[in-house]
Amino acid sequence: GSSTASNLLAELNPEQQEAVLASEPAIAVIAGPGTGKTKTLISRIAYLVEHQGVNPSEITAVTFTNKAAGEMKERLDAHFHSKQITRAMTIGTFHSICLQFLSNQLEAVTLVDEYESLDIAKEVLLSCDLSLSPRQFLRAISTWKCHMEREAPSELMDAFLLYQQRLSQIGALDFDDLLIKAWEGWQKESLPFDGFAYLCVDEFQDINEIQYQLIRSWSRHCKGLFVIGDPDQSIYGFRGSDSRCFSRLTDDFPSLRLIRLLQNYRSTPEILYSALPMISQNEGPIRELRPWKPSGSPVRILMAESDLSEAIFIAKEINRMVGGIDMLDAHTQNNQAEQDHIRSFSDMAILYRTHRQGDMLERCLRQEGIPYVVAGRDDFLADEFVRASLGFFRFILNPGDIASLIQCLQTRWKCPEDIRHALRAQWMEALPANQGDAFVRLQNWEPLRECLRLLQFYRTKIVEDSPRTLLESWIQDWNVTDHEPLQRLINMSIFHDRMEPFLQTLLLGEESDLLRSGGRTYDAGTVTLMTLHGSKGLEFPVVFLCGVNKGLIPLESAQHPADIPEERRLFYVGMTRAKEDLILLTSSDPSPFLSDIPMDHVQSSPVAGRRRPSCETQLSLF
């Protein structure tokens, strides 16, 4: 690297520098959004290598998403002017790190995805007398596994054991098992500890019990444990994360050095002072966060008639902001142009509480010709043909994965129950024979001859062709035309060059890892659509936060009984993604949280003061 310590540190404030230089065995940086935690973590890694002579292979960084891991690598590559250095580091999510170590040790690791888990849950529940939905059951089993309690609630024990038994019958692990199995490996020291001398963890507030245990295991061979996070942004309580992990850290590492950062570099004071009251209502110390940016435009709260008019407004407003002239508003545009910057599409994000809200927005964006990308898990992944195509390619990459083959056969050969059982039985026998065997066995299976031909054909293509090409040709071979869910899958695949990483992202990716294009190709950048959960850690100059309504924020549904403090943190996370412009939209019944926003930072003149609302959207100021 060409930089010196002084210019690496020069970009940081004194507290951030302290965090980079700290040499205690355990260090925690606890600080609010936009205070440069992630920036500090990356600078620390660069500093360790450049100025402390640490070997890159001794460094592990745990990020919350694969995308964050990718960005971290990119920023380090840019800093070092080389890709060699980061390649030697371990940078990834808990799941990808565990998968990497387990795959090195075991012959093959087969994972079931959430839909396969659901199928197994349904099967199990059929034979048990429990008044739980399959999803509730899975949530319960995950809570039990990740909390690593010795015993499950007794009425569920039989069902849990059946579920685990089914998994081991198909030789597969679910997401939780992946972490647990790896953790056991490190406990028994059968997995190596190379790479954990310098362990850095981002978004520490959202780790769950098993992830905490992994950190403890790794830190046995650690010279420097460095965790950063913000308890006020803890939003995965429903998945078993517990922000009390910070105080546990103090117990487990009595010499823990605590560093706080108070300067917020991301948002204007208007945005910060509107967001802070959301969490000051929660228990805890007084939160201090100082805006570094000068005053900007007020936060806008807009009241629409319906979610449709919200979506129409957003689409038109985005076009206005990128410089398109709306004829209706042409006479008010001149003054405005001086005040507003011209934005690009990639400056903007539209955030919402539930995936379902995205559909209407997509329609309106398409109507207005706005390029966009949607992040997150989507219902189309449950579609039978989508599952068939994924099963097909998974089986080619991992011929031990009989569950995937069956998944795929179902759609075309309607694979009767007896064939399925026979197939499974035969597979069990074949295992752990070498993987080529799987194909030989299929040859002897008359009804599967055609499938075998296809499998063989794609087996050579899978290493050369892009996921998009593979999927498009599979769709033809399978004779499924005009199938919207498959088109969506293709729109997701274009972000990947190879099938294997694409399948792994689908399987283990977090919300913001799973990107789907709006269906057009463009160079001009794209607007990002995502849930509040998916927006964690990210920042955008302009944020539209829509559906700020009762029932959505906080979310009240049968599946999710509202946990008010967590819902407040989630709304806070969403608001603090904005750097310059924050626009909150509400229709029907406004969210009760809105009344906590002090009106002095909110636009209080009618929309017409800035620009005349177009008649069709009928937006009025809240």
Query: Which residues sit in the known binding site for ATP?
Result: 31-38
Tokens of 517: 């294009």
493 binds, among ligand ATP, Mg ion, none (CB under 5 to 8 A by kind): none
In 3D space, the residue among 429, 426, 458, 460 whose CA is nearest the CA of residue 445 turns out to be 426
Q: Give the nearest distance from C-beta 40 to Mg ion in angstroms.
A: 9
Q: Give the nearest distance from C-beta 572 to ligand ATP in angstroms.
A: 10
> In terms of CB distance, is 230 or 307 closer to ligand ATP?
230
Binding-site size for ligand ATP (CB under 6 A) equals 18
Distance, CA of 363 to CA of 361 (rounded, Å): 5
33 binds, among ligand ATP, Mg ion, none (CB under 5 to 8 A by kind): ligand ATP
> In terms of CB distance, is 44 or 266 closer to ligand ATP?
266
547 binds, among ligand ATP, Mg ion, none (CB under 5 to 8 A by kind): none
In 3D space, the residue among 412, 577, 580, 572 whose CA is nearest the CA of residue 480 turns out to be 412
Q: Give the nearest distance from C-beta 94 to Mg ion in angstroms.
A: 17
Annotated binding site: 31-38
Residue 569 binds ligand ATP (CB under 6 A): no
Measured N-to-C along each axis, helices 307-321 and 358-367 cross at an angle, to the nearest 10 degrees, of 40
Helix (H) or strand (E) holding 479: none
Tokens of 497: 């060059």
Q: Give the nearest distance from C-beta 233 to ligand ATP in angstroms.
A: 6
Which residue carries 């030789």 as its tokens? 171
- Using the contact rule CB under 5 A, the part of the chain among 47-55, 95-103, 303-311, 531-539 near Mg ion is 531-539
In 3D space, the residue among 345, 380, 343, 391 whose CA is nearest the CA of residue 365 turns out to be 345
Contact 226, 199 (CB under 8 A): yes
Indicate the SS3 state at residue 244: coil
Residues 6 or more apart whose Cβ sits within 8 Å of residue 405: 391, 392, 395, 423
> In terms of CB distance, is 266 or 441 closer to Mg ion?
266
Distance, CA of 199 to CA of 141 (rounded, Å): 30
Residue 278 binds ligand ATP (CB under 6 A): no
Alpha helices by DSSP H, listed for 322-401, are 330-339, 358-367, 384-397
Rg of the chain over Cα atoms, rounded to whole angstroms, equals: 26
In 3D space, the residue among 310, 482, 458, 320 whose CA is nearest the CA of residue 391 turns out to be 458
16 binds, among ligand ATP, Mg ion, none (CB under 5 to 8 A by kind): ligand ATP
Measured N-to-C along each axis, helices 154-169 and 134-147 cross at an angle, to the nearest 10 degrees, of 90
166 binds, among Mg ion, ligand ATP, none (CB under 5 to 8 A by kind): none
Residue 537 binds Mg ion (CB under 5 A): yes
Among 67, 73, 216, 266, binds ligand ATP (CB under 6 A): 266
Which amino acid, 467?
Answer: P
Q: Give the nearest distance from C-beta 34 to ligand ATP in angstroms.
A: 4
Indicate the SS3 state at residue 534: helix
Contact 198, 221 (CB under 8 A): no
Distance, CA of 142 to CA of 144 (rounded, Å): 5
Contact 572, 587 (CB under 8 A): no
Pairing of strands 300-304, 578-587: parallel
Residue 265 binds ligand ATP (CB under 6 A): yes
The alpha carbon dihedral of 587, 591, 592, 594 has a sign of negative
Q: Give the nearest distance from C-beta 594 to ligand ATP in angstroms.
A: 22
> In terms of CB distance, is 34 or 224 closer to ligand ATP?
34
Which residue carries 């309106």 as its tokens? 364
> What is the contact mask toward ligand ATP in residues 513 to 552, using x (rule: CB under 6 A)?
------------------------x-x-------------
Which residue carries 């399959």 as its tokens? 134
> What is the contact mask toward ligand ATP in residues 211 to 230, using x (rule: CB under 6 A)?
-------------------x
Q: Give the nearest distance from C-beta 12 to ligand ATP in angstroms.
A: 5
Among 8, 16, 29, 38, binds Mg ion (CB under 5 A): 38
Strand order in the sheet with 198-201: 90-92, 59-62, 198-201, 224-229, 26-31, 257-261
77 binds, among ligand ATP, Mg ion, none (CB under 5 to 8 A by kind): none
**Phi, psi dihedral angles at 579 (to 5 degrees):** -95, -45
Which residue carries 């790190």 as its tokens? 97
Site residues (CB under 6 A) for ligand ATP, limited to 341-360: none
Q: Give the nearest distance from C-beta 511 to ligand ATP in angstroms.
A: 15
468 binds, among Mg ion, ligand ATP, none (CB under 5 to 8 A by kind): none
Alpha helices by DSSP H, listed for 81-192, are 84-87, 94-105, 114-126, 134-147, 154-169, 175-187
Q: Give the nearest distance from C-beta 31 to Mg ion in angstroms.
A: 9
Cis peptide before 554 (omega within 30 of 0): yes
Q: Give the nearest distance from C-beta 88 to Mg ion in angstroms.
A: 24
142 binds, among Mg ion, ligand ATP, none (CB under 5 to 8 A by kind): none
284: left (phi over 0), alpha (psi -120 to 50) or beta: left
Q: Give the nearest distance from C-beta 425 to ligand ATP in angstroms.
A: 50
Residue 65 binds ligand ATP (CB under 6 A): no
Measured N-to-C along each axis, helices 436-443 and 449-461 cross at an angle, to the nearest 10 degrees, of 150
485 binds, among ligand ATP, Mg ion, none (CB under 5 to 8 A by kind): none
Which amino acid, 33?
Answer: P
> In terms of CB distance, is 496 or 568 closer to ligand ATP?
568
Angle at 287 between CA 290 and CA 16, to 5 degrees: 55
Closest residue to ligand ATP, based on beta-carbon distance: 36
Binding-site size for Mg ion (CB under 5 A) equals 3
Tokens of 443: 């040859």
> What is the contact mask toward ligand ATP in residues 4 to 23, using x (rule: CB under 6 A)?
-------xxx--x-------
Which amino acid, 400?
Answer: G
Site residues (CB under 6 A) for ligand ATP, limited to 17-56: 31, 33-39
> In terms of CB distance, is 38 or 264 closer to Mg ion?
38
Q: Give the nearest distance from C-beta 18 to ligand ATP in angstroms.
A: 12
- Using the contact rule CB under 5 A, the part of the chain among 32-40, 166-174, 265-273, 321-329 near Mg ion is 32-40
> In terms of CB distance, is 101 or 236 closer to ligand ATP?
236
Residues forming the site for ligand ATP (CB under 6 A) = 11-13, 16, 31, 33-39, 230, 233, 265-266, 537, 539
Residues forming the site for Mg ion (CB under 5 A) = 37-38, 537
